[in-house]
Structure 1
Amino acid sequence: MGLSEIAAALETTTTEQRSRCVPTVDDTDVSLRERFEAHADALPCAPAAAERVVEAHGSGTSVGASARDAGVAPVTAAKLLHRCGEAGVTPLAPEARRIVRDWIDGRISRADALALTGAEPSEFALATYVETHDPIDPLVEAVEGALADRTDAAVAKRDSLAETMSSVTDMQF
């Protein structure tokens, strides 16, 4: 049996091809503000301010500068960014975060937790918020593109400064 005979047999058995792709929903026409308005009760600030914070932070602006641009306190901007899935807005190291969780669970007193973490009361409050409030999945997806721009800007900045940075191998003893 040759290739032409196999091809002829296939043509007679296959009448139509079905598409087997995963269906997608394209909701790119929904603005960022509308997405924030849908979750306004769970946000630490108004949807308009939330939109300004995310857009400013996404363009590479610090949390503090993003907060000033939006007219909110820096801690409010940090809370919002946490709710939107931005990693690294907690002011405490992993061990100090564990101590905060111990306080939340009632294993130690607040005074002991503050002393053990060495955190300022405002830092402790922000860390408590981060530990007690999870990111909001629809908002994480909604701001993914805006906050990805920040990562790209940070990588570009790091790459442009690469020549000025030393590494461990540069040290001589």
Structure 2
Amino acid sequence: MGLADIAAETAVTTSRQEVRGVATVDDTGVNLDARLRDHADALPCAPEAAATVVERYVDGDSVGEAGRAAAVAPVTAAKVLHRAGVEGVTPLAPTARTVLRDWLSGNLSRADALELTGADEAEFALAAYVETHDPVAELVDATRRDAARPLGGDALVHKRDALGETMSAPTDRFSSSVRN
């Protein structure tokens, strides 16, 4: 069977086009420095540095790269992101976090907890900070780019969500049937 035979058996059953506007996600008016200054007491560093960390992290930098850009230690950058509601900045696995909680509640010595978690001093300290400091709702709101999208997470998902109105499902492009 050649291409001509295949093409002869293909028929378009629906041909419709929807007019869709251009999807825009514009956060150029967001003054993150000013938003963070209002909550400076909840930040582990200066609001300007925190803004740099958040912006660089959202743009795809690692926690360490975002910290270096803001001239703060990577641990401080992770603390900023945690307070701003970014999940997953703790360096410990779930079982190790349980051990850490046992230490925090006084059921385990620090030396034993360090040994059982397998963490170094910096990782242990960051994990303890994450366990003892909740995200700050005002910081979470202040660092959101728009009301529909939380900070952090998968950049591909954010891009898909931002451009969702411009994309169509595979079945929307065309509908064809092949006769057998």
Same fold (TM over 0.5): yes
Q: What's the offset of the Cα at 1:153?
A: 2.3
Amino acid corresponding to residue 151 of structure 1 in structure 2? G
Distance between the aligned counterparts of 1:84 and 1:149, measured in 2? 8
Report runs of 4+ in structure 1 exceeding 3 Å deviation: 146-152, 154-157
Q: For CA contacts below 8 A with separation 6 or more, give which structure has more relative contact order.
A: 2
Distance between the aligned counterparts of 2:140 and 2:102, measured in 1? 27
Q: What's the offset of the Cα at 1:38?
A: 1.5
Given the two structures, how large is their TM-score scaled by the length of structure 2?
0.66
Distance between the aligned counterparts of 1:76 and 1:94, measured in 2? 22
Which region of structure 1 is more displaced relative to structure 2, 31-40 or 127-136? 31-40
Alignment of 1:21-170 (within 5 A): 31-145=31-145, 148=150, 151-155=153-157
Q: Return the structure number with greater helix share.
A: 1
Distance between the aligned counterparts of 2:106 and 2:152, measured in 1? 37
CA distance 1:149–1:134, shift in 2 (3 Å): closer
**Residue-pair matches, total:** 130
- Same amino acid, percent of matched pairs: 60
CA distance 1:117–1:149, shift in 2 (3 Å): closer
Distance between the aligned counterparts of 1:100 and 1:144, measured in 2? 30
Q: What's the offset of the Cα at 1:144?
A: 2.3
Distance between the aligned counterparts of 1:154 and 1:46, measured in 2? 30
Distance between the aligned counterparts of 2:122 and 2:151, measured in 1? 29
Distance between the aligned counterparts of 2:125 and 2:87, measured in 1? 17
CA RMSD of aligned residues (A): 2.3
Amino acid corresponding to residue 87 of structure 1 in structure 2? E
SS of the counterpart of 2:44? coil
Amino acid corresponding to residue 75 of structure 1 in structure 2? V
SS of the counterpart of 1:87? coil
List alignment gaps of at least 5 residues for structure 1.
1-27, 158-173
